[in-house]
Amino acid sequence: MVKTCTKCGKAKRGDQFRQYGRACRACLNRANRAYYATNSDRLTELARQKYAADPAAAHARDLLRRYGITAGDYADTLGAQDGACAICGQVDSTGRRPRHRCRSRPPLL
């Protein structure tokens, strides 16, 4: 299937478009990079405010995005290990996570 991009006007294969998009991926990527370049300070500040508003929710989002686990899974694993790193046994006083870098993924901490 061939579609025509509404931004560059070129005819391209259907796999070079998003599922319901009219602009090709290359044009969208170019537009997104340009937007971020002109608004990076504002976007960074918004991300900081979002984190400051609820650090626990930010931690949960980060765990899900990076490792594919929920905050509950992380807490269960850390609880089963008595709050210690599974590699070296170091315990963090806050109980949230070991505060060092063993180069292991959170389920192994």
Per-domain boundaries in the chain = 2-53, 70-108
Of residues 105 and 33, the one with the higher pLDDT is: 33
| Structure confidence at residue 91 (pLDDT) | 73
Could you tell me the pTM of the whole model? Answer: 0.56
Which residues are CB-contacts of 24 (< 8 A; sequence separation ≥ 6)?
Answer: 3, 5, 7, 8, 10, 12, 16, 17
First and final C-alpha spacing in the chain: 48
Of residues 105 and 23, the one with the higher pLDDT is: 23
